[in-house]
Amino acid sequence: MPDAQSIRGALLVAGTSSDAGKSLIVAGLCRALHRRGVSVAPFKAQNMSNNSAVTLDGGEIGRAQAMQAVACGLAPSVRFNPVLLKPGSDRQSQVVVRGHVDGTVGAADYHTRRAALAQIVADELASLRTDFDVVICEGAGSPAEINLRRSDIANMGLAQAADLPVVVVGDIDRGGVLAHLLGTVACLSPSDQARISGFVINKFRGDQSLLEPGLVQLEQLTGRPTLGVVPFAEGLWLDAEDSLASVVGHTVGRAAAALGTERLSVAAIRLPRISNSTDVEALACEPGVDVRWVDDAAAVASADLAVLPGSKATVSDLAWLRSRGLDVALIARAAAGRPVLGVCGGYQMLGREIVDDVEAGVGTVPGLGVLDLRIRFETDKVLRQVRGNAFGKPVHGYEIHHGRVVANNDASLLTDNDFGPEGSIRGAVVGTHWHGLLACDEFRRDYLGNVAAQAGRPGFVAGRTSFDAARMAQLDLIADLVETHLDFERVMEIIAQGPTGGLPVITTALT
């Protein structure tokens, strides 16, 4: 067994599917190793997500990798996620390479860029392995997507290129996890199978003794152990990897008891191409605030606060709003002096006009007209961390958008330290390009106090939640779960030893 202080190596955490828990397991391993004094970094070769964060070096990476960096005690860096795909439609994605936009690509022709991107990925991972003792890599989707194996740079393609051992995570909450784990290995070629060192079962509920016979059979069939069974933990919900976590009708987080006599209800509109949906998580951390994803006009009309979040396809999502009558509900709220908050793309939709010859290429489109705001899309994307002042309090956040404000006749929401007035306030309607603003504790409390007054909820009392502390508590919780419920010493051995070979090959018609 290697000593934590002397361990060196890398590991790929793959999953049987998207949203199987790869991001959280990677974060937990990173946090656990960091707490033991190990120099550790996260890595995701290629991510597909519209939930992103801006790094100190002015680049853009997946939000999950930013969270994993924090778990390692590091500032987020483009090194941790060199390739990010941001879907703008079902057939096309913006390609972000080393933090910056490098064109768009369709699903059918992405393979034409594989060689160049594979080299970028290999170089970044090699650099990280030089600078850190341990690198915990996260796969993308499933390693068993056999139609994509030739162009794979994030799963078994990465494992082969960098000589990585692999553990596979399965989500038992979905059902069929043993078949998923067995089938994942069986779909791989013999050379890929040789890198699979074990399994992790995630989100388990109930009596584990009932699962044990299945784990024994799984090891007999595959020759690989289950390294642990991580229990379902309702307290883990911040910094979701992608839109799969933003399900219409579902609440965000865990509703905490109110401090006063009344609660606030928040309707967060689930746009088809929602971007940085994590903005509303800060609201859900507050006691007495209930946040729910919605897509119908009645839910928007009845809530105390309606939130129109960011979008990777602003004009398209604006058309979707209109097709469902959500535009009418939002305009009616504004006219009645009832609170509406727009963030980034949502802010742009609330204005009078959007000129988009870049993202959608449709020219001038009328907005909802509840803010006296005009937006023009530019080719260059704004990517920066920001600081300023709002409601007399210091605030910070980050910007990720192509749209520029070319006219704003409403009062500003805040003052950017570098660029002056930012955002808009008109009555109970508030908008900003800043992501992360709601994570500023004093601003959030003041804003919720205003919402309560405008919504006629005098019995609501704002809490004293520290959002940063809540995030760190979740990181420590997943690290505790990983250390308690995984054979952590065996995991460290796998990291240190690398692929050992000699494991059984499961033969199927596919191989």
Helix, coil or strand: residue 274: strand
Cα–Cα distance measured from residue 34 to residue 31, given in angstroms and rounded to the nearest whole number: 5
Cα–Cα distance measured from residue 268 to residue 92, given in angstroms and rounded to the nearest whole number: 26
Q: Residue 388: count other Cβ atoms within 10 Å of its Cβ.
A: 23
Residue 16 is encoded by which pair of tokens?
Answer: 């049987």
Residue 133 DSSP one-character state? S
Q: Which residues of 403-436 are buried (b: 16+ CB within 10 A; e: fewer)?
A: bebeebebeebbebeeeeebbbbbbbbbbbbbbb
The answer for residues whose C-beta is within 8 angstroms of residue 498's C-beta and 6 or more apart is 9, 163, 164, 165
What are the angstrom distances between the C-alpha of 52 and each of 37, 239, 310, 383?
28, 10, 11, 11
Cα–Cα distance measured from residue 408 to residue 303, given in angstroms and rounded to the nearest whole number: 27
Which one of 344, 401, 433, 485 is the catalytic residue? 344
Q: What are 83's strand-pairing partners?
A: 46, 97
Active-site residue, 440 included: no
Cα–Cα distance measured from residue 293 to residue 295, given in angstroms and rounded to the nearest whole number: 7
Residue 235 sits at φ, ψ, to 5 deg, of -75, 0
Which one of 34, 180, 435, 485 is the catalytic residue? 435
Active-site residue, 435 included: yes
Query: What amino acid positions are annotated as catalytic residues?
Result: 344, 435
